[in-house]
Structure 1
């Protein structure tokens, strides 16, 4: 089993905060997403970025990983897990985590599974064990939450088709009667990390990069939503951080959530002579006093 440097994969320092880690993940996930990237090996890079984010976004997992990393391992070094996996010795999670419905889940390495207990057997949560029930966290994609449907999972060598109700909320339980070790199998829902969207309650947040001229002059831009792409009109004179609301385009509920489009004004790099000349003309037109204006 080879050690993986999750900080190196995301391109952040070990001292990086939660916001920096999330920002790095979103940038790399957009870059390597199999639906949009044409780079060689994009799918494997996308999986690696997802795995790194899953390890570092959770404080308990991150602490367990940091404890192992402090031993001086480098990427590619062989790591021999202790009997029973790292979960107990490194304060691992109480639940096995199962990923279903696409998104960021699935396909994690042996290193990840050994460190966090997924490959070392199906762990019972405290309290549930006393009742004979077995509990697990089931991470589902936002697309599955939006549409509902059935996902296939594997637990302890058994395969189950689990119906996911439309609009299910984090923390809600799905009970599979008689499928636990000595009782029922309880699946606690959580949302898998998404490369494009964040969730705030039932609202979905999408950061939209716009060019300076689109922000200044206005534009019509195609924006992805969980229900498919829609056209968004950017008002003239928009500034970075402006929020545009797409009503009813968030997660289902009563009432349904909205999608919040946050504008990120970015200056494209000038790759050609014509593009550089265009920036020169902009500089001449606005002058050096544009900040005061």
Structure 2
């Protein structure tokens, strides 16, 4: 088994704050999300990023991981130190495999198999049901990772829990933190309570039921205005862009967020992107603009 440097995977220091870890994870998850990045190895990188975040975002797992010491190098042969299970309390029950833990590595399952995983990797994004716990009425709790599209359209998923295959209906408009209850499907005969988590999306951010999207526009589009295509969860729509729009301008697409009794909205933030001047003709065009316009952005 090879050691994994989770800090190196996320590109953060060992002293990184929880916010720094979260920001690094979100940036990398967008970059390597298989729905956006189809290059060879992107899916494996995405799973590796999720695994690193699973450990470093959990204070208990992070403390245990840090206890291994900072002298290990990624890829080195690794065996858990003597007394690991008894010393950190991870040896409760059998050590679960990477398959049980939703596609996480053998390194993860050896260290944290008894604690389990909150989410799942890309190979099985709905199978990460480690970390289940039972309350006094023998209900079983787990986390279920879904996509924004699942919430927008509604979906039906199959999950594997304790060797059983269960069907889960994802209701339209469900948001992170909400719970789906499967009656009498808990490990102790009670109910199975699935807390919803949302996978990162390459185009959209979610706040409540509202969707946020940054729309890149060319300078002439921003200056002249007109109709411009905007992606939404329900498909591409046309946005009426006012003339002389500036970067940072926020526009609302009413009812284009998650569905519900009161549908959320989609907010579009404009980002004016200046094309590079790589040729003599392009540089000459910019020079001509400078002569024709009296505009000085610093004076304004």
TM over 0.5: yes
Name the residue aligned to 1:109. Answer: 105
Conservation of the 8 A alpha-carbon contact between 2:222 and 2:246 = yes
Q: Which runs of 5+ in 1 are unaligned?
A: 92-105
Aligned residues: 277
Structure 1 residue 197 displacement after superposition:
1.5
Number of the residue aligned with 2:242 = 235
How do 1:108-257 and structure 2 match up within 5 A? 108-112=104-108, 117-118=115-116, 122-125=130-133, 128-184=134-190, 185-218=192-225, 220-257=227-264
Q: How far apart are 1:205 and its partner, in Å? A: 0.8
* 1:76 is the counterpart of 2:54: no
Question: 2:162 touches 2:187 (CA, 8 Å); kept in 1?
Answer: no
Which has the larger displacement, 108-117 or 129-138? 108-117
**How far did 1:251 drift?**
0.6
- Aligned position for 2:44: 44
User: What is the RMSD computed on CA atoms of the aligned residues?
Assistant: 3.9
State the TM-score, normalizing by the size of structure 1. 0.74
**Deviation sequence 1:252-277 (CA, Å, 0-9, x none):** 11210001111223334445554444
Q: Secondary structure at the match of 1:216?
A: helix
Distance 1:64 1:211, change over 3 A: farther
Consecutive unaligned residues in structure 2, runs of 5 or more:
91-101, 118-127
C-alpha displacement of 1:282? 4.4
Q: Tell me if the contact between 1:121 and 1:156 (Cα under 8 Å) persists in the aligned partners.
A: no
Question: Is the Cα contact below 8 Å between 1:122 and 1:156 reproduced in 2?
Answer: no
CA gap of 1:153–1:239, structure 2 versus 1, over 3 A, is: same
Contact kept in structure 2, 1:241 and 1:263, CA below 8 Å: yes
1:60 match: 59
Q: Give how far 1:292 is off.
A: 1.1
Change over 3 Å in CA distance of 1:147–1:275 after alignment to 2 = same
**How many Å separate the matches in 1 of 2:291 and 2:13?**
39
For residues 153-175 of structure 1, the C-alpha deviation after alignment (integer angstroms, 9 at most, x for no partner) is 12233221111111123333222
Moved more, 222-231 or 264-273: 264-273
Deviation string for 1:128-147 (max 9, x for gaps)?
Answer: 43222211011211111111
- In structure 1, how many angstroms separate the alpha carbons of the residues matched to 2:183 and 2:194? 11
Q: TM-score, normalization: structure 2?
A: 0.72
Partners of 2:249 and 2:36 in 1: how far apart?
Answer: 26
Structure having the higher Rg: 2
Q: 1:179: Cα distance to partner? A: 2.2
SS of 2:268's equivalent? strand
